[in-house]
Amino acid sequence: MNFMKNLFSIIMLAAGLSASAAEIASPDGMLRLTVDLDPQGAPFYSVAYKGAPLVENSRLGLTADETSFNDGFRIASVDTLTVDRTWQPVWGEYSEVRDHFREMAVNLVADNPERALTLRFRVFDDGLGFRYELPAQSKNNYLTLRGEATEFNFADDHTLFCIPGDYDTDEYLWSETTFSNLPEALGNYRKHSEAQRTGGTVIQTPMLIKTKGEHPVYVNIHEAALVGYPAMLLDVDTEGFDMKASLVPDRLGVSGYLQLPFSTPWRTLIVSDDARDILASQLIYNLNEPCKIEDTSWIKPMKFMGVWWEMFTGNVKTWAYSDDYLAKPGVTDYSSLRSNGRHPANTENVKKYIDFASAHGIDAVLVEGWNEGWEDWASYRKNRQFLFDKAYPDFDVEQLREYAKAKGVKLVMHHETAANAADYALQLDRAFQFMKDNNYDAVKTGYVGAVIPRSEHHTSQWMVDHVLDVAKRAADYHIMVDSHEAPRPTGLARTWPNWLAQESARGGEFESFGGNPPSHTCMLPFTRLKGGPMDYTPGLFQGDLSYYGEGKTSKAGTTLARQLALYLTMPSPMQMACDLPENYERFADAFRFIEDVPVDWSDSRYLEAEPNRYITVARKDKNSDDWYVGAITDDQRRTALIDFSFLPKGAKYEATIYEDAPDADYRTNPQAYRIRTVKVTDKTRLKQPLAPGGGVAIRVVPLK
């Protein structure tokens, strides 16, 4: 493969074709992109970073049943443009984002058969994006898409950070491997019922590459603005160090049905030799359309608790009201069923959460298991259905509406669809109206299980359309959305900022299914979070589940202090405090940090970072002069070096430090923490010890 690649370049040079190449550089000149055609008229590109080749000659193109856009082209014209503008996100890590790039549109035409294709490239200082634009053609304006020719070809056996390719789930642990070791690294996953469909060498995006050598370059590969198109996986050639786009198909093997004109999502590469820049990059948002919601005043970042973790602590509590698995929503008279007595979504219990949230300044309470349908779902029957406007007999919608209102707390709706997306789409208006009538303005959706319609996968074109449609229709009702088991985000929250968060990765719930290793959250910000915030569900104080004596022995891969740090390292405008009120009462002084920490920021500074190892970040509250610092490490003890020079010169601050105690260790002593207060200024350099699996969270408040 490498030989072929070299040969290919040699032929190109010999033919003198590179002379006709179109070239463009980033505004700072560090990234350089070249586009050209081979002798067959097939387009390809390459990327150099700081003068050295990074992405080698890599094909571009699209394949459809009706016609393909892979070769036979000539360059009709090239348009270039420089753009420098800023925009203000409704929420996020920064109050202002700079969108500064050089653009090059390479307009290709082919004669036989007649076709036109524009390749649009945008090169930023922190990476680049490109997409295919298919204008209306003289014929074949309806395409049955089979795939893309897009390649990302590298020249050496670099390090890869990735999860296995899968059409239906992304809830995997990260592998740190190399191109050549990938099959071994993903070996265990090949047995997974879903991942096996894609074989051993297909991986998901976002993924991260760290190049070999003394001066490594980090490259995050993903996509932006995934609309009307399937998600992209990467098919890895482990010997040639090459990757090829692999589009998720429906069950007929078709990747998409397109009507032209059509623009594909952007293929994105975030590039830097400083790992911190990967975390700071807003490139994927920059490649999305501006906000389409005119009045955004109703969109409010929030912290929430939930009648939720109770169902994970042991094998006791259930989402279902009764044990009658034959109960059918809309048909069964639920008032005649007997409660199983293990159903936490009941009025009295919800009131306790509301009381706690109200007393501690937590904005909202999520309630799972409130509606008809869980009996059927729990047994994984084929025709599962939920009703989104039918509460169980022990959940008094009106009483709770009034109670929550009186206590100044919002309730968060839950719509588990069990992946019956077709049925959910039909119920949606009724469901949203029911929410509005009962004072709910945020919903957590879920798609657990095999998708209905059966022809689809979780990340095929139909589902991509479905989840975006839910977010848009929610906006019509002024409803905010947190979607679980939805396609990995691609920055669409810029356009639809009511789409506050998604799960779309292995979340905190896995601390109850055997645990997440500490490195997991040292990886997500480099990958999954580049597309948008994650509802990771931090705030787990009682991570050893044997505590409950209910049958589970799972141990969380974290110290208590680290859970606080996650509010900084896993920023989200919809942030959970996942644990039970009684656990927060046991550690009330530590919970104080969760009460205080904001969920919306005016500025963020990544101070230290290395994928899979550690992250240290400082953020400024959007609504005050307070700063917050969070640092986490993997399973190794570490000293974070916190440089406070981000503070205004000369100003004095008081820092409250929530840290691992000296004897803390996520395996043996996770709940050992200390809280201390020190004075800091812009001159302070704090050497902060972190326990194995530990972290630190710091609140920094100006001294009057």
To ligand NOJ, the closest distance from the beta carbon of 235 in angstroms equals 28
Least distance (Å) from ligand NOJ to the CB of residue 432? 18
How far apart are alpha carbons 555 and 543 in whole angstroms? Answer: 6
Q: Which does 627 bind (CB under 5 to 8 A by kind): ligand NOJ, Ca ion, none?
A: none
Which does residue 692 bind out of ligand NOJ, Ca ion, none, counting CB within 5 to 8 angstroms by kind?
Answer: none
Q: How far is the CB of 505 from Ca ion (least distance, A)?
A: 9
Binding footprint of ligand NOJ, residue count (CB under 6 A): 9
105/118 Cα distance (integer angstroms): 6
Site string for Ca ion, 481-500 (x = CB under 5 A): ---x----------------
Closest CB 397 distance from ligand NOJ, rounded Å: 19
Helices (H), 549-623: 560-569, 581-586, 588-596
Contact predicate 527/176, CB 8 Å: no
Nearest approach, Cβ of residue 368 and ligand NOJ (Å): 5
Q: Write out the E strands in 179-301.
A: 202-204, 207-210, 218-224, 232-237, 242-247, 256-259, 262-263, 266-272
Q: Nearest approach, Cβ of 689 to ligand NOJ (angstroms)?
A: 33
3-state SS of 538-559 is CCCCCCEHHHHCCCCCCECCCC
- Which positions from 279 through 308 interact with ligand NOJ, judged by CB under 6 A? 308
Q: Which is nearer to ligand NOJ, 164 or 344 (CB)?
A: 344
| The two three-digit tokens of residue 33, written as one number | 């992109």
Q: Interface with Ca ion by CB under 5 A: which range of 143-151, 193-201, 262-270, 479-487?
A: 479-487
Phi, psi for 569 (deg, rounded to 5): -85, -20
Displacement of CA 635 from its chain's centroid (Å): 23
Mark the segment that binds ligand NOJ (CB under 6 A) among 384-392, 503-511, 604-612, 635-643: 503-511
**How far from 250 is each of 196, 253, 447, 461, CA to CA, in Å?**
16, 5, 17, 8
* Binding partner of 606, given Ca ion, ligand NOJ, none, CB within 5-8 angstroms per partner class: none
Written in H, E and C, the secondary structure of 410-421 is EEEEEEECCCEH
Distance of closest approach, residue 575 Cβ to ligand NOJ, in angstroms: 14
- Cβ at position 171, least distance to ligand NOJ in Å: 8
Strands 364-367 and 410-416: what pairing? parallel
Q: How far is the CB of 322 from ligand NOJ (least distance, A)?
A: 17
Distance of alpha carbon 241 from alpha carbon 179, whole angstroms: 6
How many Cβ atoms from other residues are within 10 Å of residue 653's Cβ?
Answer: 21
Q: Of 444 and 620, which has the nearer Cβ to Ca ion? A: 444
Q: What is the DSSP track for 458-527?
A: TTSHHHHHHHHHHHHHHHHTT-EEEESS-PPP-SGGGT-TTEEEE--S--GGGGGTT---TTHHHHGGGT
Q: Segment contacting ligand NOJ (CB under 6 A): 51-59, 501-509, 540-548, 578-586?
A: 501-509
- Give the binding-site size for Ca ion (rule: CB under 5 A): 1
Q: Indicate which of Ca ion, ligand NOJ, none lies near residue 48 (CB less than 5 to 8 Å, by partner kind).
A: none
Q: Report the partner that residue 416 touches, choosing among Ca ion, ligand NOJ, none (CB closer than 5 to 8 A by kind).
A: ligand NOJ
Told to check if 446 binds ligand NOJ by CB under 6 A, we report yes
Question: Residue 125 or 485: which CB sits closer to ligand NOJ?
Answer: 485
Give yes or no: 509 in active site.
yes
| Bridge partner residues of 132 (DSSP) | 119
- Show contacts with ligand NOJ in window 140-199 (CB under 6 A): none
Residue closer to ligand NOJ, measured from CB, 311 or 409: 311
* Strand partners for 578: none
- Cβ nearer to Ca ion, comparing 128 with 464: 464
Task: For residue 605, give every residue at least 6 positions away whose Cβ sits within 8 Å of its Cβ, in sequence order, or none.
Answer: 617, 618, 619, 646
Closer residue to ligand NOJ, CB minimum distance, 288 or 537: 537
Torsion angles phi and psi, residue 44, rounded to 5:
-150, 165
Taking Cα atoms as reference points, which of 513, 586, 583, 522 lies closest to residue 551? 513
Start-to-end CA distance of the chain, whole Å, equals: 65
Which one among 126, 242, 456, 503 touches ligand NOJ, defined by CB under 6 A? 503
Window 345 to 404, contacts with ligand NOJ (CB under 6 A): 368
Q: Does 484 bind ligand NOJ (CB under 6 A)?
A: yes
Stretch that binds Ca ion, among 4-12, 110-118, 219-227, 477-485 (CB under 5 A): 477-485
Q: Which of 166, 310, 375, 509 binds ligand NOJ (CB under 6 A)?
A: 509
Q: Which helix (H) or strand (E) holds 276?
A: helix 275-280
Specify the DSSP element, H or E, that contains 386.
none
Residue nearest to ligand NOJ (CB): 416
Residue (325 or 646) nearer to ligand NOJ, CB:
325
Selected catalytic residue, list 223, 310, 416, 509: 509
Which residues carry out catalysis?
509
Question: Residue numbers of the site for ligand NOJ (CB under 6 A)?
Answer: 308, 368, 416, 446, 448, 484, 503, 507, 509
Question: Residue numbers of the site for Ca ion (CB under 5 A)?
Answer: 484
